[in-house]
Structure 1
Amino acid sequence: MPDRLSRRAFGGLAVALALGGCARRWPKGANGEEQRLNFYNWDTYTGETTLADFQAATGVEVNMSHYANNDELFARLRAGNPGYDVIVPSNEFVTRLQISGMLSPLDHARIPNRANLAPEFVNVAYDPGRRWSMPYTWLALGIGYRKSRVDGVPDSWKWVLDSDRYSGRIGLLAEGDDLIRLGARYLGHSVNAVTPAVMEEVTQLLIRQKRHVKLFHHDEGQDLLAAGEIDLVVEYNGDIAQVIAEDDDLAFVVPREGTLFNSDCLCVPAGAPRPDNAHRFINFLLDAKVGAEITRTIRYPTPNAAALALMPEEYRANPAIFPSGPAMARSEYGRFQSIAHIRAVEEAITRVMAA
């Protein structure tokens, strides 16, 4: 396993470095494109040999750079694509990028490995027919905790959002939209029914709880938990699964009220300079053996059924990676609502942080 860093934890590199080698003369392949590809991705979110294996198979060298969150990705592309060929936005941002004219439609004929996808990922609400994206991973937010420091299983969002019981030992996500939606779910609302009244209710809840929260983290919660800096943390299942593999005093639970699902997706941004290489790369990542090698490294749930079949039982039966039970049935994918909603979330979180 690589150094333990969340897929969201590492900041973006400078574009000049990210798209390094721009002055270099690159040979062209049989498709007429330069034998390179610029991949804009979360950190530590490929297998250990994925990029080298693609180059060995195709002759195309992959230059990968990183961003810390979807907002950074969106901001980078808003002024025009600086040269990226493949990006990995989360489901809501697939919608937002698409309606903003910032994605190119996919040519399914050039992605035959899409046949490896599990049926539930073939046609999704945020991208009907998969016209703009192919799924890379899926994620569920929950509570990671240290069993020896917590009395019982924290099976409700109340433990971290509405209680002083573990004051000063709680870590919450800094990503405002996720936090607001989890608060709405705790209060009995759909994560996609955050009206102004619900948002105000959640904002007041978070303001009251803030004095009991040690920190709002940028998705490095698994490391803070492993280091003993906090005892309960809102985090993604794959991140907590990484640290559970090294410390059996740690555990993960999806609270009984249900949670927020996410899915990170492979897309070709508008203006990609090497669209054929981009399709070849996406198809490569959806290969069964390649997908399994990625999954063994990052330990996130895979939507690739053919890759899943190659994984050991230790992975397929891991309750942190694949949580189950009634709480999962109450969980939802978030939907992009509107720019006005995003601004309202930003204002709400600013109030929480300033309180």
Structure 2
Amino acid sequence: MNKVYKFFLGSIFVIVVLLALKFMLIGSGQISDSKTLYLYNWGDYIAPKLISKFEKETGYKVVMETYDSNEAMITKIKQKSTNFDICIPSEYAVEMMRDQGLLEKIDHKKIEGLANIDERFLNLAYDPGNEYSIPYLWGTFGIVYNTKKYSQEDFSSWKNLWDKKFEGEILSFDGARETLGIGLLADGLSLNTTDPQTLIKVRDELIGFMGNVKAILADEIRMYMALEESNVGITFSGDASNAIDANSDLAYTIPKEGSNIWFDNMVIPKTSKNQQAAYAFINFMLRPENAAENADYIWYATPNKKALDSIDPEAREDKTLYPDDEIINKLEVFKALDKESTILYNDLFLDLKISPHAE
């Protein structure tokens, strides 16, 4: 075999190995090619048709991975094992990720359509000036109930949930902040309370509430409420609206003390290797027609005020999804907790879950 031919074969072998290595790394997310967007999102949290539309319009291929909690998402971003270009954290998680140096600052000169977002949902405490995040969807936390058995007056206050008439009736959301929040709201306190003695007192008070809890669940609440397996569910507005859509005997309310208003947001993690694709995605989702299609698919509220003219009229008139300003003014955003407070919340919630009254 002559030297030229040997050199040619050797070069071909090296090229094949390098290409194979490249595609292996791309597949594992350790590097990104210039035509791929790596999206890290909640499960079933974007209209599939929008993914196809984005790919067709931009030429980028979307590779999406899902998570089921902000904490799981943050842990994976910290590991830097996958170069995600976009992820969708909740408001307190944006604050945490910013403080931990996990996010790129948003270059507002590259953003098209930020003016489409309702001014009420910009420049909030978790991200002043929207330096790191762009609102994606929003909602509230409240009570869905069966109108054949109860009226809105039965839920005029969070304190009412301690009434023995609700014994074995309540499906409560599986979350430390949300559960302790019920007790804090009932006492007229902030959802962001961190004083240990106050939280311990609230935990003790919630034992009475837990006596009325049939089960502690997550997304399943909407299904069980729709099937009338229970008459009271404490959950998020989008899930409540889905349950109501399936069962017209259900209604949703927020007690007079107020509740939590949450925001999920588009951010660019430091792991991003394709910021051009990330900005293309943000701008695509800021377009009113796309925001409307996404909101109609997920059935949560869009912060895009220009999209409201295009969303399903039934959704636009749904006070579960889009409450009046009088209600919104009573709502509070969760702030990120320090490590000690996070541990305390989780420990107190665990106490309640394993208490004799908890199922």
TM-score bucket (shorter structure):
0.7 to 0.9
Q: Residue 278 of structure 2: SS of its match in structure 1?
A: helix
Amino acid at match of 2:158: W
CA distance in 2, matches of 1:103, 1:86: 10
Task: Describe the superposition over 1:121-179 as per-residue Cα deviations: whole angstroms up to 9, x where unpaired.
Answer: 2211110111100000111000011111325542222343x222121121111110122
Shift of 1:314: 2.3
Amino acid at match of 1:23: M
Matched with 1:280 is: 280
Shift of 1:111: 1.3
Task: Describe the superposition over 1:259-279 as per-residue Cα deviations: whole angstroms up to 9, x where unpaired.
Answer: 011100001111212111111
The 1:35–1:347 alpha-carbon spacing in structure 2 relative to 1, beyond 3 Å, is same
Task: State TM-score, norm by structure 2.
Answer: 0.86
Q: Contact 1:254/1:323 (CA < 8 Å) preserved in 2?
A: no
Q: Residue 74 of structure 1: SS of its match in structure 2?
A: helix
Q: Do structure 1's residue 171 and structure 2's residue 199 form an aligned pair?
A: no
Q: Contact 1:81/1:272 (CA < 8 Å) preserved in 2?
A: no
Matched with 1:218 is: 218
Matched with 2:83 is: 83
Aligned ranges 1:223-262 → 2 under 5 Å: 223-262=223-262
CA distance in 2, matches of 1:327, 1:165: 26
CA distance in 2, matches of 1:22, 1:155: 58
Q: Residue 205 of structure 2: SS of its match in structure 1?
A: helix
The 1:327–1:347 alpha-carbon spacing in structure 2 relative to 1, beyond 3 Å, is same
Q: Do structure 1's residue 36 and structure 2's residue 36 form an aligned pair?
A: yes
Task: State TM-score, norm by structure 1.
Answer: 0.87
- The unaligned stretches of length 5 or more in structure 1 are 1-20, 27-31
CA distance in 2, matches of 1:121, 1:323: 14
Shift of 1:305: 1.1
Shift of 1:221: 1.4
CA distance in 1, matches of 2:198, 2:264: 27
Q: Contact 1:255/1:327 (CA < 8 Å) preserved in 2?
A: no
Shift of 1:194: 3.8
Matched with 1:61 is: 61
Amino acid at match of 1:284: F
CA distance in 1, matches of 2:68, 2:322: 24
CA distance in 2, matches of 1:323, 1:288: 20
Task: Describe the superposition over 1:188-221 as per-residue Cα deviations: whole angstroms up to 9, x where unpaired.
Answer: 1111234212211221122232232111112331
Q: Residue 23 of structure 1: SS of its match in structure 2?
A: helix
Q: Contact 1:256/1:326 (CA < 8 Å) preserved in 2?
A: no
Matched with 1:5 is: none
The 1:354–1:245 alpha-carbon spacing in structure 2 relative to 1, beyond 3 Å, is closer
Task: Describe the superposition over 1:290-338 as per-residue Cα deviations: whole angstroms up to 9, x where unpaired.
Answer: 0011011112111111111222432222111112364432221111131
The 1:22–1:346 alpha-carbon spacing in structure 2 relative to 1, beyond 3 Å, is farther
Amino acid at match of 2:58: T
The 1:268–1:81 alpha-carbon spacing in structure 2 relative to 1, beyond 3 Å, is farther
CA distance in 2, matches of 1:147, 1:312: 25
Q: Contact 2:138/2:303 (CA < 8 Å) preserved in 1?
A: yes
- The unaligned stretches of length 5 or more in structure 2 are 1-21
Choose 146-155 or 111-120, whichever is displaced more. 146-155
Choose 78-87 or 46-55, whichever is displaced more. 78-87
Choose 285-294 or 200-209, whichever is displaced more. 200-209
